[in-house]
Copies of this chain bind each other. A is one copy, B any other.
Amino acid sequence: MAITFELIHTCKQTGARYGKLHTPSGTFETPIFMPVGTQATVKSLTPEEIEHVSEGLILANTYHLWNQPGMDVVKAHGNVKHMMQWQHALLTDSGGYQVFSLSKMRKITEEGVHFKHHKNGSPLFMSPELSIDIQQTIGADIIMSFDECPPPHESREYLKDSLERTLRWAKRGKDYLSTDQALFGIVQGGLEEDLRLYSAEKTMAIGFDGYSIGGLSVGESKEDMYRITALLKDVLPIDKPRYLMGVGAPEDLITNVMNGIDMFDCVLPTRLARHGTALTTEGKVILKSKRYEFDLSPLDSNLKTLASPYTKSYLRHLYKAEELLVSRLVSIQNLAYLKHLMKEIREAIKEDRLYDYYINMKSKTNYFK
């Protein structure tokens, strides 16, 4: 087995899971947040900086790397880790999300998806086997089954057809895989509870090294998201890691951890940074706000990061002046905060007090507003 998952403790207050994910590139305590290196770079940061603000497990995007720089360039470097000088663990998505969210004029067949490139319009085709091929070339420790990620409010009929096809694609991908990379299956089914349960049952029947929950954080309400993860809490196998894809807001992380999730990824911390919003132990800081014009305090009094030497006033100036440095410093802060939050969450799980921690976080920060 490429990876093993060790469930070590279940929080008596919440049922949240503390565990260890053993991979060929290191062991990681869970629940874990994984920064996203979409195009083989976590936006604006060097690998040394990513080491400091992550646990050593990051994500890269199959669709983007397939298109740019392309697999020939990746092969020339050996794999993406060598190319980007990342010494630790890597997870890739399957490309499915981008095929459905970014591409134009897609046509879904049983074989795969015909579509046009999101920028240059050139015709492309992606199949479960090709997705596995690309992920093998990228060389991630953990890879994903190719799935359709349908829009959140599709009809039941569409969702049912789609998830049946996704199940057949998952089986094809598993059969095709020829490396010892860990392969996760992806549970779909939109916001329909019976479809989610059906998808989970059938995906588990195929059998994977871990289970992802896809098709959430795509525009639905937080209540809907939490309802689906709560539904799957007692359904997914306890001895495999559970990965909620594309979720990274602090309030969503802690709530979904209480719903049994072990792994998360999201571009949110780096995207917010580029828009001048910081995530801190004291809550969200929106740097463009006039209230920070003369604020000489640091972004986060409780966390020491590369951003600590600077005043909010100076960071606000950099944001208003459209200076790249603010993206870097706030990205570092945001990722450091999520790393810190997940560590605190793990401590609280181990000590059976995650609900107390949640109530405290809710009263002390503006994340839940």
**Chain B residues with CB below 8 A from A311, complex form:** 77, 83
Contact A40 B320 (CB under 8 A): no
The verdict on A196 contacting chain B, using a C-beta distance below 8 Å, is no
Contact B306 A41 (CB under 8 A): no
Nearest-CB residue, chain B, relative to A270: B324
The verdict on A68 contacting chain B, using a C-beta distance below 8 Å, is yes
Query: In whole angstroms, what is the CA distance A85 to B293 when docked?
Result: 17
CB < 8 Å neighbour of A73 from B41, B69, B309, B313: B313
Query: In whole angstroms, what is the CA distance A308 to B325 when docked?
Result: 21
Quickly give the copy total for this chain. 2
Known: A68-B320, A68-B321. A44 touches B328 (CB 8 A): yes
Q: Size of chain A's interface in residues, with CB distance under 8 A?
A: 37
Query: In whole angstroms, what is the CA distance A314 to B320 when docked?
Result: 31
Nearest-CB residue, chain B, relative to A67: B321
Query: In whole angstroms, what is the CA distance A40 to B316 when docked?
Result: 12
The verdict on A46 contacting chain B, using a C-beta distance below 8 Å, is yes
**Chain B residues with CB below 8 A from A314, complex form:** 40, 69, 77, 83-84
CB < 8 Å neighbour of A39 from B69, B72, B73, B321: B321
**Chain B residues with CB below 8 A from A316, complex form:** 69
The verdict on A294 contacting chain B, using a C-beta distance below 8 Å, is yes
The verdict on A238 contacting chain B, using a C-beta distance below 8 Å, is no
Chain A residues 303 to 336 lying within 8 A of chain B, measured CB to CB, are 306, 309-311, 313-314, 316-318, 320-321, 323-325, 327-329
CB < 8 Å neighbour of A306 from B46, B77, B329: B46
Query: In whole angstroms, what is the CA distance A339 to B73 when docked?
Result: 32
Interface centre among A43, A296, A329 (most CB of B within 10 A): A296
- 7 smallest beta-carbon distances between A and B, as pairs: A69-B317, A44-B324, A39-B321, A85-B309, A41-B325, A41-B323, A76-B294
Chain A residues packing against B (C-beta within 8 Å): 39-41, 43-46, 64, 68-69, 72-73, 76-77, 83-85, 293-294, 296, 306, 309-311, 313-314, 316-318, 320-321, 323-325, 327-329
Q: A43-B323, A64-B321 are in contact. List 9 more A-B contacts (CB 8 A).
A: A39-B323, A40-B317, A46-B325, A68-B321, A69-B316, A72-B294, A76-B294, A85-B309, A324-B328
